[in-house]
Amino acid sequence: MTMHGGSLAIRGRLLSFDADPREEGAVRYVEDGLVVIEKGLIREVGEAPALLKRLRPDLRIADHRPHLVLPGFIDPHLHMPQTQVVASYGAELMEWLAKYTFPEESRYGDPAVGASASRFLIDELLASGTTTAGVFCTSHPESVDAFFTEAAERGLRMVAGKVMMDRNGPPALLDTPETGYEQSRDLIRRWHGKGRLAYAITPRFAPTSSELQLEAAEALAGEFPDMHIQTHLSENEGEIAFVREAFPWSKDYTEVYERYGLVRDMALFGHCIHLSERERAALAGGRATAVFCPTSNLFLGSGLFDREAMRAGGIKVGLATDIGGGTSYSMLRTAAEAYKVLALRSQKLPALDAFHMMTAGNAEAMGLDNRIGRIVPGYEADLVVLDSAATSAMRRRMERVETLEEELFALMMLGDERATVATYVLGAPAYERGPLRRGLPARQDRAPPEWAPGAGESAQ
């Protein structure tokens, strides 16, 4: 895969975060801003009128005024093989897995199934403005090959892995401690570090791995100390009881992962809802990340994430869709549900905080904050253009909005993929809103789009 991206400039209202917005000066907002992109990387950022005066006159400009331009959204936890499980009725976690998810995932040994699901998923993510994700495939190596092949063709920065699970699932899904290890190793050799792709060691969760398999995951983690690890932790009461029985030596759920060296930097734990003080201290001590998946937690009735406790404990927090326990591909909708979950805990989620989480915050949660998640020179030019007045309801609400924060809050509460005007990957258009809402073909096969020539004219 090549890293050659587009060279152009994008004009609009730029919003990016240098740090947590509670910190002084962390929010960068330019009302009439320009992002100059060269070979897929951000070269310059600033006020459009000043920059335009000294740029080459033949530089293509995508004029997106009056829309917002943000770093592409980052979704640190979702499941590629669950696009046809989303919205399956009436079960809590363990029953939902057995009744809907495991039978569905059993189909993914067929490379054609994985290829078509990966294409669909990536189209859907780009339509929602999401340019990077932490992705669980199935236990079949074919599913990882399918996903990474599609991600590489689109030039996307993606983190994904083969699920390791050797017990408590249907035979078609189970690997063994040996095959789980070997298949993971082969996939790492084949994909890790290729272009923008990164592998994640992916034991599904403690209930579906034997102690021998967790030892195999520990061996992989030892061999690849900088590699991502992704799994699930403390989502649901039934699951926690299951873990208590399966690992009677462990004082709690988190200790199972600690025992096998999996609580560390670059380890992402989905859910983390019912943690004790001790478990939170273990996550903080290991510099691991807790991933909040609000639509999933509400849909499966799992519980309410305690963000204040995480913050007080010094734990990195990510915000994710968790498709297919989650019910929306849109990070805007995910943030809206996060707001409501936290409201039930009497906690607040200000709009700037939420937009930071979806971009720079999630980049940091995934250990990718030196490359993506911000609009600053040297960073990869993955960008989303958002229309705060995308629907009649939003347009009407915007008539009463007076500040940027009010606008962002209404955008996150009322918005979804309909608010995506365009998505850029390495500076090249990867999605454009239009009557046919679908992804664009891979960059190399695509004729250059017709750009609005410059000032005064909107690209829309």
Closer residue to Zn ion in complex, CB, 150/322:
322
Q: Least Å distance between CB 206 and Zn ion?
A: 14
Closer residue to Zn ion in complex, CB, 322/417:
322
Q: Among all chains, which residue has been given the structure tokens 């365009």? A: 422
- Pure H helices in 272-315: 277-285, 294-299, 307-312
User: Could you write out the DSSP letters of every residue in 24-50?
Assistant: TT-EEEEEEEEEEEETTEEEEEEEHHH
Q: Least Å distance between CB 290 and Zn ion?
A: 13
DSSP state of 100: I
For residues 415 and 70, the answer to whether their CB atoms sit within 8 Å is no
Footprint of Zn ion (CB under 5 A)? 270, 322
Phi first, then psi: what are they for 411, rounded to 5°? Answer: -60, -40
User: Could you write out the DSSP letters of every residue in 107-128?
Assistant: GGGSHHHHHHHHHHHHHHHHHT
Q: Among all chains, which residue has been given the structure tokens 């690992």? A: 247
For residues 409 and 105, the answer to whether their CB atoms sit within 8 Å is no
Q: Among all chains, which residue has been given the structure tokens 């609005």? A: 452
Q: What is the dihedral of CA 116, 118, 120, 122, to 10 degrees?
A: -150
Helix (H) or strand (E) holding 267: strand 267-271
Q: Least Å distance between CB 322 and Zn ion?
A: 5
Q: Least Å distance between CB 102 and Zn ion?
A: 13
Helix (H) or strand (E) holding 69: strand 61-71
- 156/380 Cα distance (integer angstroms): 10
Q: Least Å distance between CB 293 and Zn ion?
A: 7
Closer residue to Zn ion in complex, CB, 12/270:
270
Closer residue to Zn ion in complex, CB, 270/294:
270
Q: Least Å distance between CB 77 and Zn ion?
A: 6
Six-digit token pair at 364? 């940091």
Closer residue to Zn ion in complex, CB, 124/353:
124
Six-digit token pair at 454? 């410059």
| Sheet hosting strand 428-432, strand order edge to edge | 41-47, 27-38, 8-17, 61-71, 383-386, 420-425, 428-432
Closer residue to Zn ion in complex, CB, 322/432:
322
- Pure H helices in 272-403: 277-285, 294-299, 307-312, 331-344, 351-356, 362-365, 392-398
Q: Least Å distance between CB 200 and Zn ion?
A: 12
Closer residue to Zn ion in complex, CB, 92/182:
92
- 337/316 Cα distance (integer angstroms): 19
Where b means 16+ CB within 10 Å and e means fewer, 160-170 reads bbbbbbbebbe
Amino acid at position 2, single letter? T
Closer residue to Zn ion in complex, CB, 70/165:
165
Q: Least Å distance between CB 325 and Zn ion?
A: 6
Q: Least Å distance between CB 432 and Zn ion?
A: 30
Q: Least Å distance between CB 105 and Zn ion?
A: 12
Closer residue to Zn ion in complex, CB, 36/78:
78
Closer residue to Zn ion in complex, CB, 79/443:
79
DSSP state of 305: -
Angle among Cα 278, 283, 286 to the nearest 5 degrees reads 120
Q: Least Å distance between CB 270 and Zn ion?
A: 5
Six-digit token pair at 181? 């290890």
Closer residue to Zn ion in complex, CB, 291/354:
291
For residues 358 and 130, the answer to whether their CB atoms sit within 8 Å is no
